[in-house]
Amino acid sequence: MELKEIIEGCLEGRPGAWNMLVQSYAKRVFNTAYQFTGSRVEAEDQTQEIFLKVFHSLPKFDMEKNFDAWLLTLAKNHLIDAYRRTRWEKKNRDDFEGAVARKAAASSNPEDVLAVRQDHELLWKGLNILPSDMRMAVILKEIQGKAYEDVAKIMKLPVGTVKSRVNRAKLQLARLLGELGEQGHAV
């Protein structure tokens, strides 16, 4: 079934259409929430709230527009708003899960594996030092591998602004990697 049919099905209350929408987008939304909040429990709560918003906002969706960008913009706005509302509760991220690093153990050299794993742990924690807009830009571009143009569409910003935010975020993370590395990896 095509996406347009799925959306129309959801609007008409056709059985199965909503399930297909959830099946297609739950993983993407959940991972965006997880990478942004750094907490599984928080990400699950936020994902439910985002899908509830999607359910209620679907009648307003313009079928001529890009649904992916619409949904991710909605998710981005929700996550940033929620973060700003309750910032004090989100200072800590979950411990880094080995499962989220694809190639961490790919090298045969144990020292390399350890260094890569340390980098991952530091960056996972370090994402929280970034301002929410900058963090979202770096998640969409660097972790999810989207093109600058797509990130700009989702964030409703000029491409140049997105590029500079991503670059500044990477520089901040790189500096953090140096500082924390020198302190013996104590986040």
Partner 1 sequence: MRCKNFEDLLPGYIEDVLITEERARVSAHLDRCPACAGLLDRLKRTGAALSEISDVEPGPALMANLRDIPSTSAPRRRFPVLAVKPALQPVLAGAFLVLTFTAVLVFTPAGGRLIKTLNRQVHAGYDTISRVYAKAESVADSLDGAREKFIVSLEILPPLGRNQE
Residues at the site binding partner 1, with contacts judged by CB under 8 A: 10, 13, 18-19, 22, 26-27, 30-31, 34-35, 44, 47-48, 51-52, 55-56, 97, 99-104, 116, 119-120, 123-124, 138, 142-143, 145, 166-167, 170-171, 173-175, 177-178, 181
Instruction: Considering the complex, state which of residue 28 and residue 84 has its C-beta at the smaller distance from partner 1.
Output: 28
Instruction: Considering the complex, state which of residue 6 and residue 104 has its C-beta at the smaller distance from partner 1.
Output: 104
Q: Is 109 helix (H, G, I), strand (E, B) or coil?
A: coil
Q: Is the dihedral of CA 173, 176, 178, 180 positive or negative?
A: negative
Contacts of 8 (CB under 8 A, 6+ apart): 14, 17
Contact 104, 120 (CB under 8 A): yes
Question: Diameter of the chain by CA atoms?
Answer: 59
Q: Find the shortest distance in angstroms from Cβ 65 to partner 1.
A: 15
Instruction: Considering the complex, state which of residue 4 and residue 40 has its C-beta at the smaller distance from partner 1.
Output: 40
d(CA 50, CA 43): 10
Radius of gyration of the chain (CA): 18
Instruction: Considering the complex, state which of residue 19 and residue 92 has its C-beta at the smaller distance from partner 1.
Output: 19
Q: Find the shortest distance in angstroms from Cβ 87 to partner 1.
A: 23
Which of 82, 78, 117 is CA-nearest to residue 100? 117
Instruction: Considering the complex, state which of residue 138 and residue 154 has its C-beta at the smaller distance from partner 1.
Output: 138
d(CA 18, CA 106): 39
Q: Find the shortest distance in angstroms from Cβ 154 to partner 1.
A: 17
Q: Find the shortest distance in angstroms from Cβ 40 to partner 1.
A: 8
Instruction: Considering the complex, state which of residue 60 and residue 84 has its C-beta at the smaller distance from partner 1.
Output: 60
Q: Find the shortest distance in angstroms from Cβ 45 to partner 1.
A: 9
d(CA 169, CA 174): 9
Q: Find the shortest distance in angstroms from Cβ 172 to partner 1.
A: 9
